[in-house]
Structure 1
Amino acid sequence: MHPLFEKALIEMVVLRLFSGGIEITAAMLMLKINDLEKELVINSSLAIVESLVLIVTTAIGVAVWRKVSLSTRYCGFYWESESSFMG
């Protein structure tokens, strides 16, 4: 596998793990605080952070997508469409 893909994959995985850790921490903090107004602030902050993680992860995916040859992209789409009809 090309080193760029491995690096991109590791970056996306680390971002998702970081995001999951933030989600769990926020949930535990909400349970501990037990105040609706403060929980709404935590939830709003969480929504901002999660949106940024989604944007960065998507940007990494698009950068990798541009490096993949057109024939490989077509084969990926073809394989996905065939496997989705199998049940």
Structure 2
Amino acid sequence: MAALRFISALIECAAAVYILHRFQVKDALRVNALLGLVGPLILIFVTLVGVVGIADKLSFGRLGLILLAVLLIFAATR
């Protein structure tokens, strides 16, 4: 999980450097749009890794609650 978060941070930092280097609003908007896609994907992957890691210790009801929580996070941020 930490490795995925580290990769996400590297992508964000690389995008910031690219935006500073190009210094054009059009390019910055494109990069920002891509980052808007990458962020939720990283969240899904990290959550999936965490749930798989503890799946044998949780009941189906609790796994359902975790899934519901993730769906509510996405619904609230739309």
TM-score by length of 2: 0.68
Distance 1:64 1:21, change over 3 A: same
| Residue 23 of structure 2 corresponds to residue 34 of structure 1 | yes
Q: Max radius of gyration: which structure?
A: 1
Deviation at 1:65, TM superposition (A): 2.7
Counterpart for residue 3 of structure 2 = 14
TM-score by length of 1: 0.62
* Structure 1 outlier segments of 4+, above 6 Å: none
| Residue 45 of structure 2 corresponds to residue 51 of structure 1 | no
1:10-37 deviations in Å (ceiling 9; x for gaps): xx11111100000100001111111111
Deviation at 1:69, TM superposition (A): 5.5
Counterpart for residue 49 of structure 2 = 60
Q: Which AA in structure 2 matches 1:42?
A: V
What secondary structure is seen at the aligned counterpart in 2 of 1:53? helix
Q: Which AA in structure 2 matches 1:31?
A: L
Gaps of 5+ in 1: 1-11, 71-87
Gaps of 5+ in 2: 60-78
Percent identity of paired positions between Structure 1 and Structure 2 = 32
Q: Number of aligned pairs?
A: 60
1:51-72 deviations in Å (ceiling 9; x for gaps): 11110111111112322257xx
